[in-house]
Structure 1
């Protein structure tokens, strides 16, 4: 049994010894972003280890706020786009009613307006352009149902449709730009979340075992990794006021596995 413990001990020690230079360089960069401060104490090392997780979380927090901001901007841009969709549809529906009343359903069909007016923005733009193109040819082949009424100003109506199409296109472009920015922010947040997930278990395990090595078991139990924490869900103890941490040493803290 003693011999077995010796081999286990030597495996750990030799792994550290063989990789000392590379391990040291990587840890110095991770913990201190370069050479460690002098004089270096174990207290500074412990704080630097927990600081790795703090830095990871702060990255997630900043990007989460950025995503929330982008989503809010998307909502505004989407509302603007939908407003122009509604306005353009109403203009076309009104025109269709006027055409049908003045020239009959055949004229409506001639302009390509017989079916339902699209509500999809891209389809609505295509539909509107087709209508304007047909309007350019006029309605001379369709005698008015009431000749004594003042004829519709098709040119002015076409100009209004064209103007609304331009507004809608700009609104769509602005929304699409914002959606791309939102997706980019979400991708960055996902990467930051992955970084926190990658750092959580090692940092928590190291801090837990530093407390155990220092014979501070209650503190060790307080911070040890659990399945809930790995999933990003807090344990009850995580919600406690940080001022209560100093009293943990004498108290038993029970966490789920």
Structure 2
């Protein structure tokens, strides 16, 4: 389980997050929605040990990321596309990640095949399309065969076939008992796959709960989203 409790973050006099609390549960896909600047990236960076909170906790399987004994086998993440240097080949990038995480080399070939890049392993990342870069980032997230996936805009740059593929992959991961926390601006995709929703605006949680409860009273997720964030998106705590 991914557990965020009372999370607050300040940059000088500016409050980025204020008392953010929600959970992403095993066996479910949790959509994490919010306008630009709402605090999504800050929340995910704190969860993954890339930033520190001013107050509150962000736990993965009951521990902060920095205290996980085997982090790549516990949580896989993709926050900024592939994260690979343009001069590296896809295979070399993944081999480096695998070595750093103490993972077997065979996983490199396995995940390249899993994400549809089996024929592009020796291609330099600088020659990849945006969609191929997204697939490489997902391959890195899957290397440790983790129980939890934390993904920021994973379908960005993918064609319709790629979007359908990743939807199936994430659904299968959750159905097998895994946890998926998915941040995206594509409302239709989130509505298609999410079991639960967390909506953040102005650094505060605007709504959290099962999809049908969050959108109750609205015709679509998009309509619910704008209604929930209308009074907060221009605010900062």
TM-score bucket (shorter structure): under 0.3
TM-score normalised by L of structure 2: 0.24
Higher relative contact order (CA closer than 8 Å, sequence separation 6+) = 2
TM-score normalised by L of structure 1: 0.22
> As a proportion of its length, which structure holds more helix?
1
